[in-house]
Amino acid sequence: MTNRDVTEAPFSQLATADLTRVCGGISDADAVRIKKQASAFCPKTVKSNASLDYKALTKDSAMTLANQCLSEMKEDTSEDGKAAYAEAQKRLTADFGKYFP
CA 21 remoteness from chain centre: 14
- Is this structure's pTM higher than 0.85? no
22 DSSP assignment: -
Q: Where are the beta strands (DSSP E) in the chain?
A: none
28-48, pLDDT tens digit by residue? 888 888 888 888 889 999 999
How confident is the prediction for the chain on average, in pLDDT? 78
pLDDT at 48: 94
pLDDT at 53: 83
Question: Is the model's pLDDT at 51 over the cut of 60?
Answer: yes
CB-based contact 44:75 (threshold 8 Å): no
Residue 100 has phi, psi (to 5 degrees) of -130, 70
By CB atoms closer than 10 A (0-12, 13-18, 19+), residue 54 is: buried
Structural domain total, the chain:
1
58 DSSP assignment: B
Please give the residue range of the domain that contains residue 14.
Answer: 3-99
Residue 58 has phi, psi (to 5 degrees) of -90, 170
